[in-house]
């Protein structure tokens, strides 16, 4: 357990045990922010190397100063209100929203009681009905970068030198457009023997039927050896798989923010994504990848074909993607911007 900051100025709760996008955000940001402000986490499901206090301590911190309670979920906003108004802790309440949909009445009630709001994209800000600071997510270029020996890594992961490997990472479900990408691959792969597709991500029980259906379609097309589902793999292996890709696909039907394209691009991999979430803000169409209409397998197949069929253009786009992320979406910029919000609340 790392040493706790003294004083504790910010508490970042995580009230979910399983890994999620929100949890990943906390895990990414805290080590960077810890060098900028006295911040710690609380709640379950977090790595032991983060500065952390038990929830009981978060609820009993002395009233000698104001602190920021930085919520990213409804449950965390609600707990912040309890801490402040029932237990009389001196917390300034901050909420970060990635959702791009009209919030429920209860969520809107919670949002109205926050002292400040952050939105992870201009689109998300438009649904908050209150002013919000727009701060895009960033990625750590010290973690996400091209492999030092890409050929050796690809061989280790079972890919051939001539393979063109497409990746799609996230839970296996319709929301992520997995069926759209399978459909695009079924159209393209018979005429492109070099193409491969790998999915990583968990299959939850409620999506088992959806997953079985995709597997059956792939098997019927005789492509089971070229379209593979790797399941939920360790984080270090996820990063290595990014580094082995030639192309990334993010065909989600809807998305809050969507960090995977940034992670892929930071590894020098161009991305084909639907026009959902923050993807239009992150991807330069034609330069670092392609943007396609949501829920359109035909447009997805056409965009993938462009990059599959032009090795030189794909490699140029990969270099442009890495440079774009390093210049515009490094995690230090995100951490600094959020810390500015903290300091304003504490002042």
Q: What is the 3-state secondary structure (H, E, C) of 149-164?
A: CHHHHHHHCCCCCCCE
Terminal C-alpha separation, the chain: 30
Measured CA distances, 260 to 97, 127, 137, 171, 297 (Å) = 18, 23, 11, 12, 20
- Please, are residues 277 and 256 in contact by the beta-carbon 8 Å criterion? yes
| 142 Cβ neighbours under 8 A, 6+ residues apart | none
Question: Is the four-CA dihedral 331, 167, 278, 108 of positive or negative sign?
Answer: negative
Residue found under tokens 């993807």: 279
What pLDDT shows up at residue 28?
Answer: 85
Question: Is the four-CA dihedral 53, 58, 59, 62 of positive or negative sign?
Answer: positive
The answer to whether domain 10-138+330-346 has CATH 3.40.50.2000 is yes
Task: Give, as one character, the DSSP assignment of residue 3.
Answer: P
State phi, psi for 277 to the nearest 5 degrees. 55, -140
Q: What tokens does 105 get? A: 């009445």
Domain ranges of the chain: 10-138+330-346, 150-328
- Please, are residues 189 and 269 in contact by the beta-carbon 8 Å criterion? no
User: What length does the chain have?
Assistant: 347
Query: What are the E-state strand segments in 113-239?
Result: 116-119, 133-134, 164-169, 195-200, 227-229
Spatial distance between the Cα atoms of 266 and 243, rounded to a whole number of angstroms:
9
What pLDDT shows up at residue 183?
Answer: 98
Measured CA distances, 64 to 8, 53, 54, 151, 165 (Å) = 11, 18, 19, 57, 56
Evaluate whether 10-138+330-346 and 150-328 have a shared fold: yes
Spatial distance between the Cα atoms of 293 and 276, rounded to a whole number of angstroms:
8
Whether omega before 95 lies within 30 degrees of 0, making that bond cis, reads no
The secondary structure element, H or E, covering residue 249 is: strand 247-250
Write down the architecture of domain 150-328 according to CATH.
3-Layer(aba) Sandwich (3.40)
| 256 Cβ neighbours under 8 A, 6+ residues apart | 21, 98, 99, 100, 120, 124, 277
What pLDDT shows up at residue 80?
Answer: 98
What pLDDT shows up at residue 19?
Answer: 62
Which has the closest alpha carbon to 193: 112, 309, 81, 48? 309
The secondary structure element, H or E, covering residue 11 is: strand 10-13
pTM value > 0.85: no
Cα 31 from chain centre: 17
176: left (phi over 0), alpha (psi -120 to 50) or beta: alpha
- Please, are residues 21 and 39 in contact by the beta-carbon 8 Å criterion? no
Q: What tokens does 32 get? A: 């960077």
**Percent of the chain as helix, strand, coil, to the nearest 5:** 45, 15, 40
The tens-digit pLDDT sequence of the chain (347 residues) is: 688 999 999 999 999 876 677 787 888 899 999 999 999 999 998 888 899 999 999 999 999 999 999 999 999 999 999 999 999 999 999 999 988 888 999 999 999 999 999 999 888 898 998 999 999 989 999 899 999 999 999 999 999 999 999 999 999 999 999 999 999 999 999 999 999 999 999 999 999 999 999 999 999 999 999 999 999 988 889 999 999 999 999 999 988 778 899 999 999 999 999 998 789 889 999 999 999 999 999 999 999 999 999 999 999 999 999 999 999 999 999 999 999 999 999 99
């Amino acid at each position: 357990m790392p040493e706790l900051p003294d004083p504790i100025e910010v508490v970042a709760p995580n009230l979910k045990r399983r890994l999620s996008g929100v949890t990943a955000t906390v895990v990414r940001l805290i080590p960077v922010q810890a060098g900028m402000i006295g911040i710690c986490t609380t709640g379950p499901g977090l790595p032991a190397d983060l500065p952390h206090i038990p929830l009981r301590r978060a609820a009993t911190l002395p009233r000698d100063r104001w602190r920021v309670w930085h919520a990213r979920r409804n449950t965390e906003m609600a707990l912040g209100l309890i801490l402040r108004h029932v237990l009389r802790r001196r917390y300034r309440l901050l909420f970060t929203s990635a959702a791009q949909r009209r919030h429920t009445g209860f969520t809107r009630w919670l949002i109205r009681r926050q002292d400040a709001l952050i939105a992870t994209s201009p689109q998300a800000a438009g649904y908050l009905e209150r002013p919000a600071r727009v701060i895009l997510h960033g990625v750590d270029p010290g973690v996400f970068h091209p492999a030092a020996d890409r050929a050796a890594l690809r061989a280790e992961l079972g890919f051939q030198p001539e393979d063109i490997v497409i990746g799609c990472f996230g839970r296996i479900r319709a929301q992520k457009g997995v069926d759209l990408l399978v459909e695009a691959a079924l159209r393209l792969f018979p005429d492109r023997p070099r193409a491969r597709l790998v999915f990583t991500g968990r299959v939850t029980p409620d999506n088992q039927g959806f997953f079985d259906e995709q597997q059956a379609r792939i098997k019927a097309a005789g492509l089971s050896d070229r379209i593979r589902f790797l399941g939920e793999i360790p984080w270090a292996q996820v990063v290595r798989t990014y580094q082995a890709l030639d192309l990334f696909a993010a065909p989600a039907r809807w998305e809050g923010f969507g960090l995977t394209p940034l992670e892929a691009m930071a590894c020098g991999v161009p991305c084909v994504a639907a026009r959902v979430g923050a993807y239009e803000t992150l991807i330069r169409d034609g330069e670092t990848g392609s943007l396609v209409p949501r829920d359109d397998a035909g447009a997805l197949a056409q965009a993938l074909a462009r990059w599959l069929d032009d090795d030189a253009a794909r490699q140029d786009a990969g270099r442009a993607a890495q440079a774009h992320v390093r210049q515009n979406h490094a995690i230090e910029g995100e951490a600094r911007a959020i810390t500015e919000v903290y300091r304003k609340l504490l002042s």
